[in-house]
């Protein structure tokens, strides 16, 4: 056999092998269609498995579903101010030069503590200026060598152990908020919150903001509630008991549905739910859950992400 004949034979064999091994698009499409007709098409995964140690390390927390309370709450802004009657203005009793000053703005003083000394022009003797209350020096208007007149303001001292929080309420909300309702006040600087009660609604309207001012008192236990600081507050007008609630942190959205994630051992399953009323922390469940069922209440987004990852891998 000539060299030409060997080359042609080898090429024919190679093409035949390729034809036998290459996929046939038309054939695959037919098989896929046949599989779909027989119900072999797989849906996207609705569950995932996470070992208990991994879930614990990730902060995933589970709790049983049960009855609860949905609060009618109003979010408002406010301002901290010193309480009237807890501010003292310290003045000179007699005219004369200031001989010493012992405190400055921001210093804590106690009642009876000497703040300054003045030599009286009338008697040519030195007398002491003392603090009338316990508190913090808010202002000082004198220095050594000055000669204040009789009655001149020298210091302003405020007792900041308790503060007023004036809450600004707008529009129709003012008609629903009255005295005696609970209030949660939160510092904007660090997010620390305290619980208090609305004490009064002032009769006038704030001119600049055209808001109604509602007033509560907060205890300044850590000394970090500062007069003049803005705060936010949540005023609870009403509380309604409901049969089933879950924390807002339990909710996720999957395929345009509200869902939670059920736990059974290491398995977490998607459960669609129908929701009702909600407040800042909880939401009412109308359908989809029963009392006692365990749902993920913390880091639920990690479960969602793991299920979506499984969906992508499946595709």
Give the C-alpha separation, 27 to 20, whole Å: 13
Are 202 and 294 found together in one domain?
Answer: no
Give the C-alpha separation, 131 to 111, whole Å: 5
In a domain, 7, yes or no: no
Among 239, 271, 290, residue at a domain's last position:
239
**Model-wide pTM > 0.75:** no
CATH at 230: 2.40.30.170
Are 270 and 170 found together in one domain?
Answer: no
Question: In which element (H, E) is residue 5 found?
Answer: helix 3-21
Are 208 and 77 found together in one domain?
Answer: yes
Q: Answer yes or no: is pLDDT of 41 > 50.
A: no
Are 77 and 104 found together in one domain?
Answer: no
Are 195 and 295 found together in one domain?
Answer: no
Are 144 and 246 found together in one domain?
Answer: no
pLDDT tens digits along 111-140? 999 999 999 999 999 999 999 999 999 999
Backbone angles phi, psi at 264, to 5 degrees: -135, 100
Domain of residue 185, residue span: 73-82+161-239
Q: Answer yes or no: is pLDDT of 59 > 90.
A: yes
In a domain, 136, yes or no: yes
Are 272 and 174 found together in one domain?
Answer: no
Are 105 and 204 found together in one domain?
Answer: no
Contact assessment for residue 142 and residue 154, using Cβ atoms and an 8 Å cutoff: yes
Give the C-alpha separation, 2 to 206, whole Å: 109
Are 77 and 220 found together in one domain?
Answer: yes
**Number of structural domains the chain divides into:** 3
What pLDDT does 314 receive?
A: 58
Give the C-alpha separation, 286 to 267, whole Å: 24
Question: In 165-233, where does DSSP find H-type helix?
Answer: 173-176
Give the C-alpha separation, 312 to 254, whole Å: 14
What pLDDT does 173 receive?
A: 77
Are 204 and 293 found together in one domain?
Answer: no
Question: In the chain, where does DSSP find H-type helix?
Answer: 3-21, 25-37, 52-57, 173-176, 300-314
Cβ neighbours around 124 below 10 Å, total: 8
pLDDT tens digits along 242-298? 999 999 999 999 888 999 999 999 999 999 999 999 888 899 999 999 999 999 999
């Amino acid at each position: 056999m000539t060299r030409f004949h060997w080359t042609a034979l080898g090429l024919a064999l190679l093409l035949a092998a390729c034809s036998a091994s290459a996929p046939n698009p038309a054939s695959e499409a037919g098989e896929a269609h046949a599989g779909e007709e027989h119900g072999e098409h797989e849906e996207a995964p609705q569950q995932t498995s996470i070992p208990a140690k991994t879930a614990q390390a990730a902060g995933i927390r589970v709790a049983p579903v049960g009855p609860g309370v949905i609060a009618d709450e109003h979010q408002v802004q406010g301002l901290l101010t010193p309480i009237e009657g807890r501010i003292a203005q310290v003045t000179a009793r007699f005219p004369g030069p200031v001989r010493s000053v012992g405190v400055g703005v921001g210093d804590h003083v106690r009642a009876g503590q000497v703040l300054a000394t003045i030599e009286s022009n009338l008697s040519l003797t030195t007398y002491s200026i003392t603090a009338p209350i316990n508190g913090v020096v808010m202002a000082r208007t004198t220095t050594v060598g000055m000669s204040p007149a009789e009655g001149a303001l020298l210091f302003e001292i405020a007792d900041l152990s308790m503060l007023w929080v004036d809450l600004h309420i707008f529009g129709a909300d003012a008609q629903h908020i009255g005295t005696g309702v609970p209030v949660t006040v939160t510092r904007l600087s660090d997010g620390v919150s305290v619980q208090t009660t609305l004490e009064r609604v002032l009769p006038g309207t704030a001119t600049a903001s055209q808001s109604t001012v509602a007033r509560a008192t907060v205890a300044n236990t850590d000394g970090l509630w500062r007069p003049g600081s803005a705060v936010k507050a949540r005023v609870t007008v009403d509380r309604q008991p409901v049969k089933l609630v879950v924390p807002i942190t339990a909710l996720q959205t999957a395929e345009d549905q509200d869902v939670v994630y059920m736990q059974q051992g290491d398995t977490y399953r998607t459960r669609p739910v129908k929701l009702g009323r909600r407040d800042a922390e909880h939401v009412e469940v109308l359908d989809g859950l029963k009392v006692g069922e365990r749902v993920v209440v913390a880091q639920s987004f990690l479960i969602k992400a793991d299920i979506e990852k499984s969906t992508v891998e499946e595709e």
